[in-house]
Amino acid sequence: MTLINTNKINLKKFGKEYHGEKIFVFLFSFLPISFILGNAGINLNILAIDLFFLFICFRQKEWHWIKSKYLYFFVFIWIYLVLNSAISFNTPASVFDSIEGREVYPKKESIIRSVSFLRFVIFLFAFKYVFANSKKIFGQILIYWSIIISVVLIDIIFESIFGHNILGFKSTNHERIVSFFEDELVVGNLVLGFGFLISGFLLQLSKNNSKKKIISNIFFLFVIIGIYLSGERANFAKGAIIFFTILLFINNVFFVLKKKYIFLLFMAAIILSTLISENIYSRQIQLLSNIGIRGIGTERNYVGKYKDTSFYEKYGHIRHVAHYDVAWNIFKDYPIFGVGNSKFRFICHDEKYYNSKIHFTSERCSNHPHQIHLEILSEQGIVGYLIIIFAIFHVLLNSFIAYKKTRNIIHLSSILFVVTFFIPLLPSGSFFSSFNGAIFWINFSLINAFLNKPK
């Protein structure tokens, strides 16, 4: 397996005295479990990693990473977020009349979220200089991740069959899987974020072992099937892109069967699960209806009339369109700097964003617009959007150039995750949230780590 090595922070030397390696293995291995525990668990886990990393840097007086130009990029983003939250306009009083039963502090919440973004910046370099420093640590952590995600995949299949997960949790939405999250429908996102990284690790690990290769191939196939069974259609679309790209790009030597047979197995599993499960079937039929394939109503047989219908007539019945519409209109009202981090959830209540042409306009408010580009544009404006996109895609482009040398499947998986994360129009989680944000930064941190010269 191709790894990178900075040879800057000496974890082995540190570990003899302070058990540094064991602590990092534990903290990083615990990450998937912290997602199941909730936002508090995620934030505490990442904070512990950040603090321990800074402690090691302090003890060994190794601060070389602060000279990285990429650190400057993301510190600049952090400063922009904080300043933008601090100077962003005050929420109109009329908005608060629409928010019933809760006390709200828009500017305070905005500044707190912006300040806390620093945890991801430090995590980016903690990941790089710890994972890249030791093949042993990298392998141990991914093995633990493999075990945890395997249990989650088994639980998804169990719930899809019996209607409840191993612990007895039942989803409030019969078309979606809740798994270990009890009341959050996000298990597909977790599998998407970790599953393909682990698949890349297992595929490389089992390259020269036929028995292990069977296990790695089964895991790789079950990742995409698990996302499909979860009922999270946007994540399945992203997962399918990653799955087929990996299948296309990597050599046959990593597979027990020829690629075309793996593709046929995938198609057979998807078709059978759809036909067998009434919940999955109705979920997919609903998707076809939303995009206009089921019936476009009376216009189905009148192509000319269908072409003349407006955007709202075609798609106004889709729930997320209500979020997209209000985010776009907020951006048009505040195009330069946006409304400030985390303020979409407040501004969306303003009655001027009510659109009678959209079926779910009364439900237009949410914690975020459910689309990554619209979230950044509406809250950070075109200035913040260009800064963030430039920094991320600059790292992404350079990492892709490095991938052409490494040909590492884990590296490829992380690149594909970040690319699909920014697909326009597809619904997505919040870029700045604990859950969705942490999954993104885990994958992005791996991309950043591979920027070093391959060992």
As a whole-number percent, the residues of the chain with pLDDT over 70 amount to 85
Distances (CA, A) of 182 to 86, 232, 366: 36, 16, 21
Tally of residues, the chain: 455
User: Which sequence spans correspond to the domains of the chain?
Assistant: 11-291+367-449
Of 36 and 106, the structure prediction assigns the larger pLDDT to: 36
Distance CA 358, CA 327 (A): 14
H-run or E-run covering 95: helix 93-96
* Greatest C-alpha distance within the chain: 77
Q: What is the pLDDT of residues 294-311, one digit of tens each?
A: 443 333 333 344 454 567
Tell the residue number behind the tokens 């930064």, with chain if given. Answer: 441
What pTM value is reported for the model? 0.90
pLDDT at 293: 47
* Full DSSP string of 181-210: GTT---HHHHHHHHHHHHHHHHHHHTTT-H
| Amino acid present at 346 | F
Q: Token pair 């476009």 is at which residue? A: 296
3-state SS, one letter per residue, for 112-158: HHHHHCHHHHHHHHHHHHHHCCCHHHHHHHHHHHHHHHHHHHHHHHH
Residue 90 CA to residue 118 CA, distance in Å, equals 24
Angstrom distance (rounded) from CA 192 to CA 416 = 11
Tokens of 175: 């078309």
For residue 9, pLDDT beyond 60 = no
Model pLDDT for residues 93-112, shown as the tens digit of each residue: 666 666 655 556 677 888 99
Q: How many helices (H) and strands (E) does the chain have?
A: 21, 0
Start-to-end CA span in the chain (Å): 10
Distance CA 143, CA 2 (A): 16
What is the DSSP track for 271-303?
A: HHHHHH-HHHHHHHHHHHHHTTSS--GGGGG-H
Cβ pair 201, 146 in contact under 8 A: yes
Could you read off the pLDDT of 66-100 as tens digits, one per residue?
Answer: 988 899 999 999 999 999 998 876 666 666 666 65
What is the four-CA torsion angle of 236, 238, 244, 245, rounded to 10 degrees?
-170
CA distance 91 to 161: 48
Top-confidence residue, 12 or 218: 218
